[in-house]
């Protein structure tokens, strides 16, 4: 039970990965931070993240803003995915924020193209995996070893995580339909939700509307990673709590810059403060979830109506949520 918090890291080297390890928090690295544009290749992630739970983001928004698209070949990105044992690595996807996709036609084209990119990425991934395993199998004669090696390789280097895209709820449903065709109905346990980084919480195209639409559309066993969801949205995730596996953000680093302290000690302090605050919010959310589940099991005495219970809950909710957290 629980939503995993991931801290976005601006680099896989230096002191910040060590600070994340000290805080015991999961992390995420953007492919753009590893791209050497002058030399035209990805840098190796390095040893600083070896002991971290770290995921790889394909950097769709950053690539569009800086280069007008992905500057690296798809093969190079898949090879980057094989350079480290990532918790997950996201498919190359095409973001749909208004500054990138200003009209409906562009949004829908990017939704469809994201599904096509997943198919291309899975093909490149499959070809590269088979080539690597075939080269290894030359050292062995038994075919059983190859089957075992493939199982180990898939555990260490999973398939690319699909990412759902869009602007309106129906766009994300369209994205899910297209990706389901690519996957031939075989959904993985984790799927990303893109273009929600600066999304407002409520409204017809708000974060909760999107997540609720996907909750109704996706198979029961599929969990979501919501890219860039800000801490202020966490208390509102109660209706889709069981559907969300994880969230990530780099808001802590922006906060350090806005406050004028971009020194390494200032950035470490900003990361610590941000992690502590989000953990508090997630703990409060977990308490609210537990309380809702307790209430669902309550058998009201005949003399107490539901209105009486609702009033009691409103007056004492904070204390009851704290008790639920302690019991959990």
The pLDDT, as a whole number, for residue 97 is 94
The pLDDT, as a whole number, for residue 148 is 63
Has residue 140 got a pLDDT over 70?
no
First-residue to last-residue Cα distance in the chain = 10
The reply to whether 261 falls in a domain is no
The reply to whether 138 falls in a domain is yes
Q: Which residue's entry shows tokens 């990412």?
A: 163
The reply to whether 295 falls in a domain is no
The reply to whether 242 falls in a domain is yes
Residues with Cβ within 8 Å of 219's Cβ and at least 6 positions away in sequence, in order, are 187
| Structural domain count, the chain | 1
Band (315; pLDDT cuts 50, 70, 90): confident
What are the distances in angstroms from CA 220 to CA 1, 193, 223, 224?
15, 16, 8, 11
pTM: 0.88
The pLDDT, as a whole number, for residue 218 is 98
Band (258; pLDDT cuts 50, 70, 90): confident
The larger pLDDT score, comparing residue 156 to residue 223, is at 223
The reply to whether 325 falls in a domain is no
Of 109, 117, 153, nearest in space to 133 by CA: 153
Task: Tell me the per-residue pLDDT of 19-67, one tens digit each, with 9 for 90 and over.
Answer: 999 999 999 999 999 999 999 999 999 899 999 999 999 999 998 988 8
The pLDDT, as a whole number, for residue 327 is 62
Average pLDDT value for residue range 215-228: 96
The pLDDT, as a whole number, for residue 186 is 95
Which residues constitute the domain of residue 205?
4-249
The reply to whether 202 falls in a domain is yes
**Residue 223: which CATH number?**
3.20.20.105
The pLDDT, as a whole number, for residue 198 is 84
The reply to whether 272 falls in a domain is no
């Amino acid at each position: 039970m629980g939503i995993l918090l991931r801290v976005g890291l601006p680099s896989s080297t230096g002191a910040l990965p060590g600070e994340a390890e000290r805080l015991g928090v999961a992390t995420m690295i953007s492919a753009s931070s590893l791209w050497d544009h002058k030399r035209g290749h990805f840098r190796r992630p390095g040893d600083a993240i070896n002991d971290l739970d770290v995921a790889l983001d394909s950097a769709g928004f950053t690539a569009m803003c800086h280069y007008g698209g992905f500057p690296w070949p798809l093969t190079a990105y898949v090879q980057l995915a094989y350079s480290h044992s990532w918790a997950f690595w996201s498919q190359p996807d095409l973001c749909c924020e208004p500054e990138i996709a200003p009209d409906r036609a562009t949004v829908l084209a990017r939704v469809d193209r994201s599904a096509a990119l997943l198919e291309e990425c899975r093909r490149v991934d499959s070809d590269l995996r088979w080539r690597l395993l075939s080269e290894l199998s030359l050292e062995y004669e038994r075919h059983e070893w190859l089957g075992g090696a493939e199982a180990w390789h898939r555990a260490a280097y999973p398939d690319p995580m699909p990412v759902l895209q869009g602007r309106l709820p129906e766009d994300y449903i369209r994205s899910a339909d297209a990706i389901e065709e690519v996957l031939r109905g075989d959904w993985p346990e984790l799927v990303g939700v893109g273009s929600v980084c600066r999304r407002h919480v409520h409204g017809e195209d708000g974060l909760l509307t999107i997540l609720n639409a996907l909750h109704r559309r996706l198979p029961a066993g599929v969990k979501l990673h919501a890219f860039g969801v800000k801490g202020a949205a966490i208390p509102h995730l109660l209706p889709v709590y069981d559907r969300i596996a994880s969230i990530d953000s780099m808001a802590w680093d922006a906060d350090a810059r806005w406050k004028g302290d971009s020194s390494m000690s200032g950035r470490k302090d900003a990361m610590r403060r941000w992690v502590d605050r989000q953990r508090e919010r997630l703990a409060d959310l977990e308490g609210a979830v537990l309380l809702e589940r307790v209430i669902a099991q309550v058998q009201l005495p005949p003399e107490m109506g539901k209105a009486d219970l609702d009033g009691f809950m409103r007056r004492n909710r904070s204390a009851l949520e704290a008790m639920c957290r302690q019991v959990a």
